[in-house]
Structures are given as C-alpha cells and as structure tokens.
C-alpha cells in the first residue's frame, strides 16, 4: 500500500469540509454566544496545511486517541511491522491513567505513577505522536483533519473512548450538562476532572459526598464501589464527619460484589450508605439535588457519574450506531472495521460490543486489532478475539492497601445455531481482600504502564 | 549488557550451555539449539542461607525456592517437581523452537526458571513475589503444579520448559540451566536459554533494583556461590492466585 505522498485533499475537498465545519461551528456558536449576536465563524485555517509528521513512504496507520487502546495499538503495530509509519494523534499533553486513579484521589499513590509521557511512548516504540485534536475525517480520500493540519492514512484506528450522556440522567440541556460537568465532574475521563475531585475531597469538611453508579455498560464496572471505599477510608482516617452516599441504579451490582460488600460492612459501616435501585431522573445543580424514582436526594458535594456513550467524534464523522442510545461505533464486531469501510477500525471503550470497558480489556484487544491490520496488509484472515483469563483488581482499603480480585475473559465465539459470532464474557471473583492482592493491584498497573510507555518487550 | 538486545549476544552456544543441552541429547532426545543463550554464563553453586551447599536431596518436594541468576538482581525459581521432567520443545518470543533440556538431579525433577514474567516483566522481589510455584490446584487459574504470575494471571508449566498454559503471556519464562553433580549431590546454575528479557527488565526496574542490589552491582553477573531459599522466607508476600 503506497501512500499518495504529498498529495492531500484537493482545494475543492478542503472547501467542502470546511463548509461542513462552518455549519457545525455556527450551530455551536449560536447556543453559546452571550448576547445572541452570532456570525458564522471563519473555516479553521488548519484545514489547509499538512500536519508536520514524518512520511516514510510506507503504509501509514493513523491512530486517534492515546488511551489504553490507542497506545497499545501503536506499540503492537510497530512490533509486528517495524517498517510501518505509525502516527498516534492525542490531544492531551500528558497521559493520565484512570486505572489506579482512585488510590491517587485519596493521596495513597503519587501522581507520577499515573501520568506518563507521550513523547516517551513514541520514542521508545518508534512511532510518531502528533499532539493535536482531530476535527474531521474524510474516509473517501483517507484524510484526517486535525488542528495541526491534515494527514493521509492507509489505515485508521479510532480509539476515542467515551463521552458522558447527561440526557439519560434527565439533563437534556447542553448548557446545564456543561455546568453539571464542571460543578460535579464524574472523574471517569481522566485529567482535570480527577484533579478537581481530589481538591473536592481535600476541602470536604462534613456532610454527604454523593457518588452514582449509572446504568448500562459504563466505564470500569467496579470503579464507583472502589471509589466509595477509598473516599470512606479517607473520611475515616481524617476523622471527617461525613459519609459517602452511593446511589446505585442496580439492585445487584453488575459484577460479583461479595468482596466489596464485605469490605464495606467490615470497614466503612459508618461512612458508606448504598441505596440500590435508584434511577436518576433529573438534577438540580443549584440546589444540589437529584430527582430520582425514590424521591429527591440532596448532597453536600458529589462526583456524578452519568451513563456513558461513544465519544462524540464517532457521531461527528458518521460512524456511530445512531439507532442505539450508546452511540458507540458502528463496526463489525469480529473484524473491528467500520461497516462498509475496511480501512477504518474502532477499538477501546468506543466499541459497541458489551465487553467490560476497562483498561486491561482495551489493552488486550488492541493487540488483536493491530494483528487484524497487519494480517490484512499481508492478505491473511484473522479469527475472532478471544482473550485469556486476565486479572483485574479492586482496591477496598487504601491503608494498608488491600484489594479483591477478578479474573475476566472476553471475546466473540462462533455460534452454530445462528452461524454467526456471539459475545462471550466470563468473570470469576476472588473475594478475600488481602495485602498481597493490593500489591498485585499496583503491579498490574505499573507493568502495563511500563509496556505502553517504556519497554520494548 | 547493553540496553537494547544486542544481536551479538544471540551467539552460538558456549561450552557450558552446550554441555547442559547435551544431557538431553544423550538421553536420546532431539535437541534444537535456542536462538538465545546467555553469552559466557557464570557457573555458580547453589548454597543454603548458612553457606553450606544445597544438595538435591535437601530440596523439599514441591519447593518454591528462589535464587539470583545470572545477575545479582535477577530472580529465578528453583522447583522440585513430583515427576521427572523430560526435555521439551517450546517456542521463544520470536516463535523459534528450542529444546528445554529437562529436569536435573537423581530424579530428573529439579528445574529452574527466571522469576520474571514473560508477559509484562513482573518479578519476585523482597517485598512481593508475583511468580510462585504451587502444587495445589490454584483457585484463580484452576491449574495445579504450575508457576503463576499474579499480576495478570499468566500460567506456566514448569515440567515443560515453562510453556504458557493460560493468561496473557505469549512465550515461556527463560529457563535457567542446572547441573547436578552426582558425586556430591550439589546443584549448579550454568546457563540461561529462551527469550532475552534482561535489558527490558533493567530498564523497567532500574531504580528499585539499584536500591535493593547496589548502584552498579544489580547488573553484574553472579559468581561463586549463590544462596537459594524458600520464596516465603525471601519475600514479604508470596502471592497466591
């Protein structure tokens, strides 16, 4: 596959795309502008110049999103085919891990364990990091537009993760959702939200700290429970007169919760209250009140985790499953390519398959996607994904660090009855919390950070 | 030892490695030379904590012991299995086949492997032993008589060249070649074959290895006598999974 070197989109294409962006921009501007006077914004200048990335004249794979999926796709591609020109586009300046972050929130893990350098990842694995935000994709001409210019691709992997869907929490208004997001951020899209949540905890004097467990396949199923334990432990340790109110939409958590329940009963009886079967139907930000099926619930501070959806970029470039509320990517669940486009793939939490939305799953799946792409280059078929059983740990006590463990495998298996592939996930829980599992919990993350950013293993 | 794997280290088998491999050949097995064998491996005698030689008969059945080889900081598991472990053909990280020469000792059941996980380099330290051998059926993995790394649940078969049985690892642990001297019943570590991971291991853990084993000593090769002891005595936490 030879790249059309130096040949970008034609002038006409640029004008066309820019026109589309202008329309979007105008719509956004109209709702946000104070005072109401709106003129259509000028098309972004970035569209007219080429991004500054090295061109090797070999096939280029562009990856959008430097999370647990995108980073691993990039690394694995270079391992499988070192001659590939791999460009990872990530808009954040620094990687900030969501896995392990609950320990950092309560001051039990240094920040340097969670943040890592995209420059390190790129130089240690020999790919290019383009520090830019993607604004559009022209799949017909295989061009990605970013705020740093455009670049062409032979294959494109989108790993943009999730966005929040406040509408399903009864907050359909975009400005109200934006306010909610800044006042009570969920802290499941890492970075500033997490830092804000940490500051909230540090400044918390007394009262109710509210957390929610949303419906659907939300990011990291045990995380809200882990977070409740961490915050309760922090309150206990610092003699704070407060408690965590965990509003869970489920009657039973969507995983085997025994070890976590046991920890809550043993350690946090006075600091965690769980109310199950709570459906959030609306949120009054000013009054710090949730409207629910069980009545109004007020709080002193909160991290409100709403349902998740596929990152908005999927919708913007026309590859979201618009017939489903999650708006996840419309891809072949076995081959991972966008329906009707075998050069564009989607991995990580933006996938529509009901795998756990968790770092280790995205990381393992990424290796599979990289092999699908290199196999396709070599004209070879690739079987369906079947992960081995892998560990995942949930911290239930921060000091001393104690965790419980889960072993999870996931994949797609052939179903004789239907002649198609069906999703299969198995999980096994190991409920005895221990210091040893606590150590394994840390090592679980550290060793994967090492792989993604440093090791040439 | 350079940071990156140096092709020149993938050399022809040196005397000691060849000798250890020849045992398998003598027993009538087809022997495939490994693509990687440690260059000029040290030959060290395994001793107990009190300095006396560790004899094969002193090593308890199902031992889950640790010693350091080939570097001061690189841990290896020493295991006495139920049954003789015959030479086995396994594949390295590049998919190249090699023969693991089998167990040593009077019952051909003593084996040793690097205690550095071939998946993501978790290793056995004084604080925590992530890799352990257990005879009993393992609650998480469902396997018995295996080496398990609890960081992500990779499972290796110590009776078959540390072949991967389950979990995310894709290739076996590196094998430490042992020699048993029949006259004295002593055990020696004489070489290392399989997949080279030490460059990456040092890179990943340099800071903590320096602290635990010395600024420069951590990457020096061992010599003379090397102490072997039960993992549960060496590590604060030997993780069961």
Q: Classify domain A11-161+311-377 at the CATH class level.
A: alpha beta
The residue that leads in pLDDT, B202 or A18, is B202
C-alpha B91: how far from its chain's center?
A: 16
Domain boundaries, chain A: 11-161+311-377, 168-309
Q: Which of A304, A63, A288 is nearest to A166 (CA)?
A: A304
What chain A residue is nearest to B236 in terms of C-alpha separation? A436
Q: Which of A128, A174, A222 is nearest to A31 (CA)?
A: A174
d(CA A291, CA B4): 59
Token pair 């550095």 in the structure block, residue: B116
- Helices then strands, each counted (H, E), chain A: 11, 23
For B166-180, the pLDDT digits (tens) are 999 999 999 999 999
Number of alpha carbons in the 13 Å side-chain half-sphere of residue A70: 28
Residue A351 has pLDDT above 70, yes or no: yes
Looking at the DSSP bridge assignments, the partners of residue B66 are B77, B229
Residue A42 has pLDDT above 80, yes or no: no
Of B127, B152, B240, the CB nearest to A390: B152
Instruction: Look at strands A308-310 and A162-164 and give their pairing.
Output: antiparallel
> What is the structure's pLDDT at A36?
56
Equal CATH topology for A11-161+311-377 and A168-309 = yes
The residue that leads in pLDDT, A174 or A11, is A174
What share of chain B in percent tops pLDDT 70? 94
Looking at the DSSP bridge assignments, the partners of residue B129 are B124, B238
Residue A43 has pLDDT above 70, yes or no: no
Of A364, A435, A454, the CB nearest to B203: A454
The mean predicted confidence, pLDDT, of chain A is: 91
Q: Is B1 part of any domain?
A: no
How far from A295 is each of A165, A216, A276, A278, A298, CA to CA, in Å? 22, 22, 13, 9, 10
> What is the structure's pLDDT at A328?
97
Q: Which of A290, A176, A168 is nearest to A217 (CA)?
A: A168
Asked if residue B178 lies in contact with residue B187, where contact means CB atoms within 8 angstroms, the answer is yes
d(CA A235, CA A255): 26
Q: Which of A167, A139, A164 is nearest to A153 (CA)?
A: A139
**Minimal Cα–Cα distance from B6 to chain A, Å?**
13
ipTM of the complex: 0.79
- What is the 8-class DSSP label of residue B172? P
Q: Which chain B residues are within 8 Å of A435, Cβ to Cβ?
A: 237
For A296-312, the pLDDT digits (tens) are 999 999 999 999 999 99
Q: Which chain A residues are within 8 Å of B139, Cβ to Cβ?
A: 430
The residue that leads in pLDDT, A110 or A2, is A110
Question: Can you tell me the mean pLDDT for B141-145?
Answer: 83
Q: Classify domain A168-309 at the CATH class level.
A: alpha beta
The residue that leads in pLDDT, B18 or A283, is A283
Q: If pLDDT is split at 50, 70 and 90, which confidence band does A44 have?
A: low
How far from A443 is each of A15, A67, A144, A447, CA to CA, in Å? 50, 19, 37, 6
What are the two backbone dihedrals, phi and then psi, of residue A345, each rounded to the nearest 5 degrees? -120, 155
Domain extent, residue B153, equals 7-238
Question: Can you tell me the mean pLDDT for A400-413?
Answer: 94
Helical spans, DSSP H, in A238-296: 258-267
Q: Is B2 part of any domain?
A: no
Q: Could you tell me which residues come within 8 angstroms of residue A349 by beta carbon, excluding any fewer than 6 positions away? A: A67, A69, A161, A162, A219, A308, A357, A362
Interface test with A, best of B140, B152, B174, B201 (most A CBs within 10 A): B152
> What is the structure's pLDDT at A445?
95
Query: Per the structure block, which two tokens stand in for A304?
Result: 């409100």
Q: If pLDDT is split at 50, 70 and 90, which confidence band does A57 have?
A: low
What's the structural domain count of chain B?
1
What share of chain A in percent tops pLDDT 70? 90
Residues of A near B (Cβ–Cβ under 8 Å) read 360, 364, 387-391, 405, 407, 428, 430, 435-437, 439-440, 443-444, 447-448, 450-451, 454-457
Inter-chain touch B197–A457, beta carbons under 8 Å: yes
Inter-chain touch A436–B128, beta carbons under 8 Å: yes
> What is the structure's pLDDT at A435?
94
Q: Which chain B residues are within 8 Å of A259, Cβ to Cβ?
A: none
Question: Can you tell me the mean pLDDT for A233-237?
Answer: 97
Token pair 């549960």 in the structure block, residue: B232
The mean predicted confidence, pLDDT, of chain B is: 91
Q: If pLDDT is split at 50, 70 and 90, which confidence band does A4 have?
A: very low
> What is the structure's pLDDT at B9?
38
Residue A106 has pLDDT above 90, yes or no: yes
> What is the structure's pLDDT at A34?
54
Q: Which chain A residues are within 8 Å of B36, Cβ to Cβ?
A: none
**Minimal Cα–Cα distance from A153 to chain B, Å?**
29
CA-CA-CA-CA dihedral for B125, B129, B133, B134, to nearest 10: 150
Residue A32 has pLDDT above 80, yes or no: no
Is the bond leading into A392 cis (omega within 30 degrees of zero)? no
Q: If pLDDT is split at 50, 70 and 90, which confidence band does A15 have?
A: very low
CATH number at residue B233: 2.102.10.10
What share of chain A in percent tops pLDDT 90? 82
Q: Which chain A residues are within 8 Å of B240, Cβ to Cβ?
A: 436
CA angle A453, A454, A457 (to 5 degrees): 110
For B59-107, the pLDDT digits (tens) are 999 999 999 999 999 999 999 999 999 999 999 999 999 999 999 999 9
Of B166, B204, B239, the CB nearest to A455: B204
Residue A350 has pLDDT above 80, yes or no: yes
Kindly write down the DSSP assignment for every residue of B134-155, as one continuous string. Answer: ESSPPTTT--SSEEEETTTTEE
For B7-16, the pLDDT digits (tens) are 343 345 778 8
d(CA A361, CA A219): 11
> What is the structure's pLDDT at A178?
97
Query: Per the structure block, which two tokens stand in for A184?
Result: 């009570």
């Amino acid at each position: 596959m030879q790249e059309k070197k130096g040949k970008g989109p034609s002038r006409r294409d640029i004008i066309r795309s820019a026109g589309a962006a202008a329309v979007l921009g105008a719509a956004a501007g109209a709702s946000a502008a104070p005072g109401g006077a709106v003129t259509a914004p000028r098309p972004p200048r970035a569209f007219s110049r080429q991004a500054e990335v090295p061109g090797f004249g070999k096939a280029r794979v562009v990856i959008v999103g430097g999370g647990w999926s995108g980073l691993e796709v990039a690394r694995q591609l270079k391992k499988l085919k070192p001659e590939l020109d791999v460009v990872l586009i990530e808009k954040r300046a620094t990687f900030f891990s969501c896995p392990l972050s609950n320990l950092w929130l309560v001051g039990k893990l240094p920040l340097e364990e969670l943040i890592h350098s995209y420059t390190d990842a790129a130089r240690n694995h020999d790919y290019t990091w383009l520090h830019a935000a993607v604004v559009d994709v022209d799949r017909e001409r295989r061009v990605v537009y970013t705020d740093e210019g455009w670049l062409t691709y032979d294959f494109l992997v989108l790993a943009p993760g999730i966005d929040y869907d406040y509408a399903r929490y009864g907050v359909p208004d975009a400005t109200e959702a934006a306010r909610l997001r800044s006042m009570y951020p969920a802290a499941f899209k890492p970075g500033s939200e997490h830092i804000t949540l940490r500051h909230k905890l540090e400044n918390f004097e007394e009262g109710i700290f509210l957390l929610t467990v949303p419906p659907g396949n939300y990011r990291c199923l045990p995380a809200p429970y882990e977070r409740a334990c961490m915050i309760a432990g922090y309150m206990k340790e610092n003699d704070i007169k407060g408690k965590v109110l965990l509003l869970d939409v489920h009657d039973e958590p969507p995983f085997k919760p025994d070890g976590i329940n046991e920890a809550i009963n043993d350690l946090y009886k006075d600091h965690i209250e769980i109310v199950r079967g709570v459906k959030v139907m609306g949120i009054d930000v000013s009054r710090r009140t949730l409207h629910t099926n069980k009545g109004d619930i007020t709080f002193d501070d909160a991290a409100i985790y709403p349902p998740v959806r596929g990152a908005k970029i999927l919708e913007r470039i026309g590859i979201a499953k618009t017939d489903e509320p999650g708006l996840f990517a419309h891809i072949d669940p076995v081959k991972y390519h966008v329906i009707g486009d075998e050069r564009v793939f989607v991995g990580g939490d933006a996938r529509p398959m009901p795998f756990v939305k968790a770092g280790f799953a995205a990381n393992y799946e990424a290796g599979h996607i990289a092999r699908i792409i290199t196999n396709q280059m070599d004209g070879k078929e690739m079987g369906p994904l079947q992960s081995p059983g892998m560990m995942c740990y949930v911290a239930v006590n921060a000091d001393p660090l104690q965790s419980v463990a889960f072993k999870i495998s996931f994949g797609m298996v052939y179903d004789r009855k239907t002649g198609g592939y069906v999703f299969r996930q198995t999980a096994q829980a190991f409920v005895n919390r221990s210091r040893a599992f606590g150590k394994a919990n840390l090592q679980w993350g550290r060793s994967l950070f090492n792989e993604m950013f440093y090791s040439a293993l | 030892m350079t940071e990156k794997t140096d092709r020149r280290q993938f050399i022809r088998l040196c005397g000691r490695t060849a000798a250890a491999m020849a045992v398998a050949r003598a027993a009538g097995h087809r022997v495939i030379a490994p693509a990687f064998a440690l260059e000029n491996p040290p030959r060290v005698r395994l001793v107990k904590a009190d300095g006396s030689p560790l004899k094969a008969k002193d090593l308890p059945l199902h031992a889950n012991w640790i010693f350091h080889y080939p570097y001061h900081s690189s841990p290896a598991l020493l295991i006495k299995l139920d049954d003789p472990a015959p030479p086995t053909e396994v594949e390295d990280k590049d998919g190249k086949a090699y023969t693991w020469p089998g167990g040593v000792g009077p019952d051909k059941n003593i084996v040793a492997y690097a205690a550095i996980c071939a998946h993501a380099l978790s290793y056995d330290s004084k604080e925590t032993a992530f890799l352990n051998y257990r005879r009993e059926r393992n609650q998480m993995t469902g396997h018995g008589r295996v080496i398990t790394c609890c960081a992500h649940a990779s499972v290796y078969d110590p009776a078959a060249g540390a072949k991967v049985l389950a979990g995310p690892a894709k290739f076996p642990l590196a094998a430490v070649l042992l020699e048993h001297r029949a006259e004295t019943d002593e055990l020696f570590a004489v070489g290392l074959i399989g997949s080279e991971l030490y460059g990456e291991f040092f890179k990943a853990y340099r800071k903590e290895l320096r602290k635990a084993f010395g600024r420069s000593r951590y990457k020096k090769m061992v010599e003379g006598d090397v102490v072997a002891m039960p993992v549960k005595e060496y590590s604060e936490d030997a993780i069961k999974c």
